[in-house]
Structure 1
Amino acid sequence: MKNSLKNFALITSLIVGSFNYAHAKEELLDRVTAIVDSGVVLESEVTDLLASIKLQAKKNNQSLPGESALRIQVMDKLINDNLITQLGERMGIQVSDAQLDQTITNMAKESKLTLAQFRESIISEGLDYEKYRESVRTELISGEVKRNTMRRRIYISPQEVTNLLAVMKEQTNNNVEYHLGHILIQFPSNPTQADMTASKTRADQVIKLLNDGSDFTKIAIASSGDENALSGGDLGWKNINEMPTLFAELIDGEKKGTVVGPIRTGLGFSIVKVLDIRGKQVVEVEEVKARHILIEPSIILSDAKAESLLQGLLNQVEAGEADFAELAKEHSDGPTSVRGGDLGWADPTKYDKAFQDALATMKPGEYHKPFRSSFGWHIIQLEDRRMVDATSQMNENRAYQMLYNRKFGTESARWLSEIRNEAYIEIFEQDTK
């Protein structure tokens, strides 16, 4: 098996080399740098990601670890992405060109740029736009695979929610949020006592470096086994109840700059730094009441035909020739069709990103032209908007989400370790000639 995979890698390299022969004077031949089950990681992918990270670090005036340590982390990410993408293919998860275009358009809007301007900004940074576009597709697939998998692996009981709500009522620090950095000194698979002792020694060394003033981000990129390593171990802002319990007990009440650890977990030794502290950001909650008609594309019904069908239905509604709800009952896919597409009152942030963005542009009584989400093609009728206070149900939802977030990081890392242990992975030495 191993020899046949090596032969496959050699053949792949020869094919790539033959394809690029005419341009050999201008660019290096690509090669397979790792075999990952039925997939491969190419040297060009490593080079592109290294260049992107270095560019981002330069923009942020952030120092990076040495080339060797950075390459190891980049290889780990690309191997993980490859495994998750293969799993996504087996699960039937796909991101169509239309969905990908919609996502990139939304990214451009968030940057207050047109799609053309966003494309030019990517190119001006020295990146290949088509490769960037495919990297976004990979991240979308990876995110969907993780969400689907975690929903099956994470269980939160009603009693856990009730207990957390009781704790939250008693807390005086519930309005404090901590910006955390995390470094994981990971155990190898099936660690021996010697492995665990060695990991503890490394973790102690990292803490000493941090306490002596070393740069947290640089050390995280070089040393962390966590999936956030390449982002400098940034865990973002978290309320004390959103953290893993072991972290919360040590972080609660600490000052900015505090380093805690090493914290022994099932994955290794964690080191956490309080990067910043702020009062909890309080915002009013808006709900929307909307109806939609959903058409799911298929082999028989293309994206273009689905969009055209919805535009025809919208034309009928706007001309006063048909009722939106009746058309939804007749034509809409999905469970809301029997209710005339009625979605009821809901927090729009719970919807698909494309659906959120569409609702954000609408006023009550308006219709939205056909657009693509991860579920298919939609048209929307926005019936009304309202501002609501925090209700007990919303507090329960918040408590549930906190518990989910608390478990997600650890369970995600455990799952990733499992699929890597079960996979055939062979990394080839870097050609230094």
Structure 2
Amino acid sequence: MNVKTKLSDCLRPLLLGALFLGTAANAAVQSIDKVVAIVDNDVVMQSQLDQRVHEVQQTIAKRGTAVPPASVLEQQVLERLIVENLQLQIGERSGIRITDEELNQAVGTIAQRNNMSVDQFRAALTRDGVSYDDAREQIRREMVISRVRQRRVAERIQVSEQEVKNFLASDLGKMQLSEEFRLANILIPTPESANSDAIQNAAKQADAIYQQLKQGADFGQLAIAKSASETALEGGDMGWRKAAQLPPPFDRLLSTMAVGDVTQPMRTPGGFIILKITDKRGGETQVRDEVHVRHILVKPSPIRDEEKTKALVQSLYTRIEAGEDFGELAKSYSEDPGSALNGGDLNWIDPSVLVPEFREVMSKTPQGQLSKPFKTQYGWHVLEVLGRRATDNTTQAREQQAMTVLRNRKYDEELQTWLRQIRDEAYVEIKLPGANQAAQ
């Protein structure tokens, strides 16, 4: 096993971002290489350590921060290489493989994120002195580590229904999942010690502005001319605010308003304020279109070729059109084990979970009618649309959002625990001069 070749581009978190910005550098060619750490069944070489230290120094320098000497960074960088090496070994033992197609897709995605074609991306790497093959190998290894973490860490995470409910009921949950508004404001101030006349005059001024806005006056221009807010010169633009961050009654009031609407003047400690919703996002009702459909699936087999399969489904279509019962024919002929016993009934289903060919035919088939036979990757089908409906999925969507937030939070915690665990359980012998020796 050529370990130097195997680990010469060992992965590291977030390095890709630096690599694709041109901060990576090739390690200097060394006439003599040596092992700096034994890690279970593999090793870390001095050349790998030198290359990674140099790359870290380059990244630090690019931030404008003082770059520490290599001797200061070596132990920390070596520890990172050891943990990454352990994850790659786990991936190899687990049979995790990245296909060329998957790797090509990943490279294409990275190039696209950098506003490049793959050829442009390849040329950029060459200009930065980075081998395209080495970059591909680095991406492949990062993909392996990512999959190892998903398998080993994700399976340790459990989020209960009660945790989801508690989160949704908490102030933090309401804050994170509440809708957001892009707001602009006009403030007519009242002094802290204002008397009733001053307050009344401010109220009249605010109401006059509100009337102008109702008649179509430009909010931004009025804000620049009349507002005492610190955002007046920006046309009153306050940026994005979550509903849960706004004081009553604005939190409830804005939720009932549409983009472009303006509030009536509201008294606040600082004066009278008028708000305009210039945009909004999140928190909206989640409506999902569903279709009630049933189908019959017939698959080609060693004893029934493509033509005979097509002929059979055409025959079934003709029999249903002639009045035979769809459900009974589905029970007798359909080869979809999930629906055959139910007369081919898929019940109410989200079209997005279906293969494109099935989804397209279903969308074009009127309710109560039968489709002509058609083919998908699974075989030949005939389907009948029994109904269509729009379902309010807001509650389920919010629960799913909460589940995602909680899982991500637990994932970060579990990942650190798991990394410490695999490091503690591994046999590691450090041979770097001056470093603390460790054998486990």
TM tier relative to shorter chain:
0.3 to 0.5
Q: TM-score, normalised by structure 1?
A: 0.46
**TM-score, normalized by length of structure 2?**
0.46
